[in-house]
Amino acid sequence: MKKHQILFGLAALLLLVLVMAGCGAKTEQAVSFRADIPAGTLAAEEFGKFYPKQYDGYKKMAEMTNEGTKHGGSEETDKLTQWPFLKEIFAGYGFAKEYNEDRGHVYTLDDVKKIKRINEKSISACWTCKSANVPGIVKEMGDAYYNTNFHELKSKMTEPITCANCHDPKTMNLVITQPPLRNALQRLGKDPDKLTRQELRTYVCAQCHVEYYFAGENKVVTFPWDKGFTPDDVLDYFEEMNFKDWDHPKAGVGEIKVQHPEFETFQGSVHQAAGLACADCHMPYKMEGGEKISSHWVTSPLKHIKESCMTCHREDPEWLKERVLYTQDKTAEMMGRVGNVNVEAIEAIAVAAQANGNPAVLDEARKLQRKAQFYIDWVGAENSMGFHNPQLIMETLNKSLDLANQAKLKAIEAQTGMAAPTWQPPATAENAAPASTEPAKKS
């Protein structure tokens, strides 16, 4: 009897395994493992024929909404209205004309074509992070692409940011397609073709979400990483080469415009040190139809906390969201205050210049203001309102505040001849310099 029961149990177990295997086969997206996408395919729709689940997420980026977030979002809001100090610090430059909250990848072409910053003299370097067509055009034209008139290449820009910016169409492996990042990595001694998959889950984002400038006569898009990734490192890089994007009409000094330095800010953060990549939070893994995929709805992690945060965190999701918003609220409050002090520095310099203040002291004030503006702009241009690296961002705001106040005082000194008083604490046993332990030299 027992023998028959054992045989019956084994047969039932075998049948269960076969049934489960059959069910599992039905939930597999078989075509995703034999995609036949020709090399050079750029349109997201073509990728979507083989990867419909990922394509559905990509299309979701067309939804413009700030729901679930408090700072940023994907609605096309006017930053100059939200942050009035920006119009003052960008005076004389295109960003004082129009500066909007960024939208999703599907809108990159639409947005760059209509922005007021583009004019008849704009160059094609401005297309670089707006279209999947760019890598192929750079391959065809070389560095001459960057300084070509923007409008001359408009007809060639047919696709926004698509799957092709990050994936090899034949293998679907993550790849670095943008020449500026490939060049930057090679300068740093990294082979862009030998990165790990986890590294690539950040570096494909770093193809665009970075600080850059236009270098040389050809205005080649270049990432200023040679000294490091921190705001201090990047400012040192620009100071060494005396770089400027434009001359501020009131401050009377060449200014630097910072561009969305998300990648640089993320370096050294708690999450980066823990081994996380951009995609872990902004494109988290999820189960869909029995298949594990990476979400291609590239958006704020606050919109899908369960997938983005709860794989590591065990706290209540609402508590986590409140912690994020607390950090962002504090950053926004501080940024507003520091921005206003930066404007005060510019006004003080303008008043001192109009009063024919001391040129040498005015020059000191202008140098301080240039640095202060770089730091406040870093925070304003970075798209996480501080959360990518709260400690670094608050430190950067503090530096901007200190430098702006110094610039104000120098401007007043240039006008009045009266230097601001300084104070040093009296020497005590606790703060005195330690005595030298070296033996006295014989005379």
The pLDDT tens digits for 357-367 are 999 999 999 99
Mean pLDDT along residues 326-347: 97
Share of the chain above pLDDT 70, in %: 89
Q: Which of 29-43, 107-121, 297-311, 329-343 has the lowest mean pLDDT?
A: 29-43
Task: Tell me the average pLDDT of the chain.
Answer: 90
Residue of higher predicted confidence among 171 and 89: 89
Mean pLDDT along residues 196-212: 97
Mean pLDDT along residues 131-153: 98
What is the pTM for the complete model shown? 0.88
End-to-end, the C-alpha distance of the chain in Å comes to: 109
Asked if the 44-314 domain carries CATH number 1.10.1130.10, the reply is yes
CA distances from 335 to 25, 135, 346, 394, 416 (A): 54, 36, 17, 9, 30
User: pLDDT (tens digit, 9 = 90+) per residue, 49-65?
Assistant: 999 999 999 999 998 87
User: pLDDT (tens digit, 9 = 90+) per residue, 312-321?
Assistant: 999 999 999 9
Mean pLDDT along residues 318-335: 96
Domain spans, the chain: 44-314
